[in-house]
Amino acid sequence: MDILEFGAQLLSQKLGINVDSATIANALSGLLGDGQGNIDLGALAGKMASSGELGNVLGSWLGDGANQGISAESILALLGRGDVADFAGKLGTDVDTAAGGLADVLPQMVDKASSGGSLLDSVGGVGGLMGAAKSFLS
């Protein structure tokens, strides 16, 4: 199961919505995608790393230990309220419910994608992650 399918399944369970997994996967791809139908968790990691307070949260998600939580408010700040509202509309739910679901699901998605640090490797290690973070600050 790829990360997109994994995230769609988790969101469906968390939100308890009557929406098929393909619709949820498409909505996730639209919110977190690379424009090619894939989720770009490296870009998400870069945004988190550039935010001082979320950098430590990201570190816990990338490591093999317990994941620190993230608030729905932090999700809205990180991804943008408008984009999360668009995502919520595709799922037939409200923005706060969607943000809460993403707050529960994103740590698990990043954790699964980064088992053994593979997400960090995919963005070029710490240097690549910091480069991605700098691009968001420019």
CA-derived radius of gyration, the chain? 14
Task: Kindly tell me the burial class for residue 69, based on how many C-beta atoms sit within 10 Å of its own C-beta (0-12, 13-18, 19 or more).
Answer: exposed
pLDDT of residue 82: 96
| Structure confidence at residue 137 (pLDDT) | 41
Residue pair 119/45 in contact (Cβ under 8 Å)? The answer is yes
Q: Domain residues of the chain, as ranges?
A: 3-137
| Interval 3-49: pLDDT, tens | 888 999 999 999 888 888 899 999 999 998 887 877 888 888 888 88
Question: Which ranges of the chain would DSSP assign to H, the alpha helix?
Answer: 3-15, 21-32, 41-50, 52-62, 72-79, 81-91, 95-113, 118-122, 125-137
| Unique residue bearing structure tokens 């679901």 | 101
Q: Quick: pLDDT tens for 42-98.
A: 888 888 888 777 888 888 888 778 888 999 999 999 999 999 999 999 999 999 999
pLDDT of residue 118: 53
CB contact set of 50 (below 8 Å; sequence gap of 6+): 133, 134, 136, 137
pLDDT at 51: 76
Q: In CATH, what class is 3-137?
A: mainly alpha
Residue 24: predicted pLDDT: 93
* pTM, full prediction: 0.79
